[in-house]
């Protein structure tokens, strides 16, 4: 060990008597100071402009403008410069022969020189501690463990780069060649992850070899044995290759002998790397304060309840625009969607089935008219290089799972050990893939029956499958919309009240009926009401005569007229309904949105009035109009061409009017929950897509929270997280001092140290 330490000390003396090592430290420290200063100023500017601050520590160190994320892109420029001479210097000067003739082993030589790299890496990381200290003074409740985890990731990256640079310096006596060789290997390790992705075996090898993105996991605050062991194995692999190279030169071994030893080392590293990457062998530690890299407690509980095997089968249509999402070349990225779930259920099996069926592919539309599907597949395979036999016809796929309702789009079927299945889709939005809420919701339907929502038809009511402007299909049954009911754990069905409501219907939606119920329909409605079924009733102005006989059974009525609130920007009947304090009984999210200044926009709403309190319901006001500047208009009906004017003579009174009421009562060992709102347009496809001037609307919250309440908070799964505590930048005098130290004092001190040592060396 003493020999190794002597070699390390000697190497460090050589390094620091050279201007290169000092220059790297100076440039590195200045870059860190500049990056941190810019990131901190950006956060401070955003705070002063009134933007909502969120996870400031993560913004400073991670993400697009984070200092550690930026440094990762430049480390490859620094490391080869101080590793290029580790062995090349010995080879070019001939001093390697003295080492070979001395009682020093090849292992001691390599390890001694590599420990010098470790010391240098520690110096770089000490510089990175400056922003950590500054953040502790500048940010409220900083996430220190996350920052230290990120620095640990940078440290491992430097060590891996150093091992590669050391190996390259053993194979050439020219330092420039060693630099170029190191850069070449680093480039290969960064881009090899995209090689051979079409083939399963090659994909696993190249994925493990890829160094790209490994350190970003640490910077985000997550430590995993998979990524930690990757760096350790890469370090030992290249150190082993370096020892073998010296051994070959020292003992004059044949190239075949040396190459075979290289192969053995590489094979051992790949084997250990593959084993360490298997889900069952990976351990995790989430260092963030709010565990943002870990499933929420509710999701973890769902996964724990899933006993036995779990299989996720992904069906990818070669003839659909969604094919690339599940193509073999993108398999690794696709599997990453489930990494947090594999952490808690490593026995999960992921399968991929490639098939062909008529899907949506605009550029191939003409081919569908002139060619069979088999011919289209063969034609595409001719250019892509695929084997057409890889793709199954739809008929064979339907024997595995019924995906006929997916219109040929990318779809997953999750199968539990008991054979129960759930569907998981991708969506037409910027994120495309499901979030934790959607995945956990799909898994939860394997544990319990999904609530079924019945949309009443027969009187021109709003339909749950109508995708038109007035319809409810966009939020109810649209499979490509992330937050639709069908993607939130609900079953959707259209029902008619000329027959009794089926026992498996949990929620009935009655919206904007335009003719009277028959006596039979009233009997079936009353029967559903008596059994304790949940209801969502949506009225509409000019429909009071049809809907009042229904809600009078609840002790309510829709008032005549239209609620107005005259405005210079919007039509008078566009109401920003205030979220009342009673909404907290429905959902805490209502209050959260209310505090942020959001409201529910109701175009053309009628008031909901209580006329009978003896029905046994507890009534809570959820939404209401403003108490001033608003009234029930009884004269004006054309709000496009006319302005409404308060006229007390016809009974118009300026006051707050209830727009939505929440009714509850105990029925048969459960609580019956009913919502009645005076506007059916507020959750229509048209209104959900509107962006009205002067309003901060959150109409979709009305849908999610209302149905969540009527499903007894079971669906959809709430994957909301606690806001990180580091949500404020606090600039003090100490902050300014530390900033000056990081950005200027440290680089200047390093420069003075460099000049002093070089002058002393020259004098000696």
pLDDT in tens, 334-343: 998 999 999 9
Residue 194 has pLDDT above 80, yes or no: no
pLDDT of residue 366: 62
Q: With DSSP H G I counted as helix, E B as strand and the rest as coil, what are the percentages for the chain, rounded to 5?
A: 50, 15, 35
- Select from 389, 381, 433 the least CA-distant residue to 412: 433
Lowest-pLDDT range of 176-190, 497-511, 745-759: 745-759
Whole-structure pTM value: 0.89
pLDDT of residue 69: 87
Residue 369 has pLDDT above 90, yes or no: no
Percent residues over pLDDT 90 in the chain: 50
How confident is the model over 724-743, as a mean pLDDT?
Answer: 76
pLDDT of residue 503: 93
d(CA 590, CA 760): 71
For 40, phi and psi rounded to 5 degrees?
Answer: -70, -40
Whether residue 721 contacts residue 55, with contact meaning beta carbons closer than 8 Å, is answered with no
How confident is the model over 557-571, as a mean pLDDT?
Answer: 89
How confident is the model over 215-228, as a mean pLDDT?
Answer: 93
Between 169 and 635, residue with greater pLDDT: 169
For residue 281 the two structure tokens come to: 């062998």
Residue 365 has pLDDT above 80, yes or no: no
Residue 255 has pLDDT above 70, yes or no: yes
Residue 608 pLDDT class (50, 70, 90 cuts): very high
Beta-bridge partner residues of 675:
536, 662
pLDDT of residue 558: 96
Whether residue 31 contacts residue 74, with contact meaning beta carbons closer than 8 Å, is answered with yes
d(CA 155, CA 250): 32
pLDDT of residue 445: 95
Q: pLDDT tens-digit profile of 46-76?
A: 888 888 888 899 999 987 788 998 888 888 8
The highest-confidence range among 292-296, 693-697, 745-749, by mean pLDDT, is 292-296
Alpha helices in 371-476, H assignment, sequence order: 373-384, 394-400, 436-444, 473-476
d(CA 575, CA 679): 10
Residue 730 has pLDDT above 90, yes or no: no
Q: Which residues of 313-341 are buried (b: 16+ CB within 10 A; e: fewer)?
A: bbbbbbbbbbbebbbbeebbebbebbbbb
Domain boundaries of the chain, sorted by first residue = 1-289+735-763, 297-436, 449-711
Lowest-pLDDT range of 488-492, 524-528, 745-749: 745-749
Percent residues over pLDDT 70 in the chain: 98
Average pLDDT of the chain is: 89
Whether residue 348 contacts residue 308, with contact meaning beta carbons closer than 8 Å, is answered with no
The CA–CA distances, whole Å, from 445 to 11, 303, 451, 690, 710 equal 62, 12, 9, 32, 16
Residue 93 has pLDDT above 80, yes or no: no
For residue 65 the two structure tokens come to: 């403008």
pLDDT of residue 455: 97
pLDDT of residue 102: 78
d(CA 386, CA 407): 23
The highest-confidence range among 103-112, 144-153, 165-174, by mean pLDDT, is 144-153
Q: In what order do the strands lie in the sheet with 310-317?
A: 392-393, 349-356, 310-317, 411-416, 421-425
d(CA 493, CA 503): 13
Q: pLDDT tens-digit profile of 391-408?
A: 999 999 999 999 999 989
How confident is the model over 168-179, as a mean pLDDT?
Answer: 89
pLDDT of residue 762: 66
Write down the architecture of domain 449-711 according to CATH: 3-Layer(aba) Sandwich (3.40)
d(CA 364, CA 717): 39
pLDDT of residue 299: 95
- Select from 118, 125, 126, 123 the least CA-distant residue to 7: 118
How confident is the model over 22-37, as a mean pLDDT?
Answer: 87
């Amino acid at each position: 060990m003493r020999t190794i330490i002597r070699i390390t000390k000697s190497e460090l003396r050589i390094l620091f008597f050279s201007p290169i090592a000092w220059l790297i430290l100076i440039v590195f420290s200045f870059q860190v100071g500049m990056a941190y200063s810019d990131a901190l100023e950006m956060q401070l500017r955003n705070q002063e402009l009134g933007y909502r601050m969120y996870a400031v520590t993560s913004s400073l160190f991670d993400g697009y403008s984070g200092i550690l994320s930026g440094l990762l892109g430049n480390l490859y420029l620094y490391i080869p410069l101080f590793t290029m001479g580790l062995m090349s210097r010995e080879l070019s000067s001939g001093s390697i022969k003295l080492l070979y003739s001395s009682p020093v082993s090849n292992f001691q030589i390599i390890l001694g020189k590599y420990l010098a790299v470790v010391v240098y890496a520690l110096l770089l990381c000490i510089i990175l501690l400056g922003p950590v200290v500054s953040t502790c003074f500048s940010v409220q409740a900083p996430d220190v463990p996350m920052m230290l985890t990120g620095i640990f990731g940078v440290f491992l990256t430097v060590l891996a780069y150093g091992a590669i640079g050391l190996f390259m310096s053993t194979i050439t006596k020219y330092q420039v060649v060693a630099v170029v060789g190191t850069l070449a290997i680093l480039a290969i390790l960064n881009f090899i992850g995209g090689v051979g992705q079409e083939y399963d075996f090659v994909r696993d090898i190249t994925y493990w070899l890829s160094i790209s993105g490994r350190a970003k996991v640490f910077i985000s605050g997550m430590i995993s044995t998979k990524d930690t062991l990757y760096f350790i194995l890469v370090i030992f692999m290249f150190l082993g290759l370096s020892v073998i190279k010296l051994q070959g030169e020292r003992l004059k071994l044949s190239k075949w002998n040396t190459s075979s030893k290289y192969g053995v080392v590489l094979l051992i590293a790949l084997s250990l790397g593959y084993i360490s990457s298997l889900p069952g062998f990976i351990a995790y530690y989430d260092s963030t304060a709010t565990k943002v890299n870990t499933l929420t407690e509710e999701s973890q509980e769902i996964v724990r309840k899933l006993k036995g095997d779990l299989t996720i089968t992904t069906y990818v249509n070669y003839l659909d625009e969604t094919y690339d999402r599940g193509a073999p070349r993108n398999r690794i990225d696709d599997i990453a969607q489930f990494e947090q779930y594999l952490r808690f259920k490593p026995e999960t099996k992921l399968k991929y089935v490639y098939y062909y069926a008529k899907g949506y592919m605009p550029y191939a539309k003409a081919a569908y008219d002139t060619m069979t599907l088999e011919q289209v597949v063969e034609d595409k395979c001719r250019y892509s290089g695929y084997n057409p036999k890889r793709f199954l016809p739809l008929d064979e796929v339907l024997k595995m799972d019924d995906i006929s309702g997916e219109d040929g789009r990318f779809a997953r079927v999750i199968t539990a050990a008991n054979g129960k299945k759930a569907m998981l889709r991708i969506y037409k939005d910027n994120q495309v893939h499901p979030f934790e809420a959607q995945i956990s919701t799909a898994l939860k339907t394997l544990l319990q029956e999904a609530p079924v929502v019945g949309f009443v038809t027969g009187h021109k009511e709003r339909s749950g499958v109508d995708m038109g402007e007035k319809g409810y299909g966009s939020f109810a049954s649209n499979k490509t919309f992330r937050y639709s009911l069908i993607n939130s754990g609900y079953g959707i069905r259209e029902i008619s009240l000329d027959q009794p409501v089926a026992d498996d219907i949990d929620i009935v939606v009655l919206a904007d009926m335009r003719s009277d119920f028959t006596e039979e329909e009233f009997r079936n409605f009353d029967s559903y009401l008596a059994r304790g079924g949940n209801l969502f009733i949506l009225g509409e102005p000019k429909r009071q005569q049809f809907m009042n006989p229904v809600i009078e059974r609840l002790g309510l009525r829709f008032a005549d007229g239209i609620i107005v609130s005259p405005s210079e920007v919007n039509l008078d009947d566009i109401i920003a309904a205030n979220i009342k304090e009673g909404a907290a009984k429905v959902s805490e999210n209502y209050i959260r949105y209310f505090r942020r200044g959001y409201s529910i926009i109701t175009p053309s709403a009628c008031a909901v009035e209580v006329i009978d309190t003896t029905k046994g319901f507890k009534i809570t006001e959820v939404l209401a109009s403003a108490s001033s500047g608003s009234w029930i208009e009884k004269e004006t009906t054309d709000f496009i061409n006319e302005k409404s004017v308060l006229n007390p003579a016809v009974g118009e009174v300026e006051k707050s009017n209830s727009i939505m009421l929440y009714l509850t009562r105990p029925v048969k060992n459960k609580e019956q929950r009913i919502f009645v709102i005076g506007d059916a347009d507020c959750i229509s496809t048209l209104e959900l897509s509107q962006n009205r001037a002067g309003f901060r609307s959150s109409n979709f919250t009305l849908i999610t929270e209302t149905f969540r309440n009527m499903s007894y908070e079971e669906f959809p799964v709430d994957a909301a997280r606690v806001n990180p505590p580091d949500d404020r930048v606090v600039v003090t005098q100490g902050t300014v001092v530390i900033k000056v130290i990081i950005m200027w004092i440290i680089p200047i001190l390093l420069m003075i140290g460099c000049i002093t040592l070089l002058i002393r060396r020259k004098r000696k």
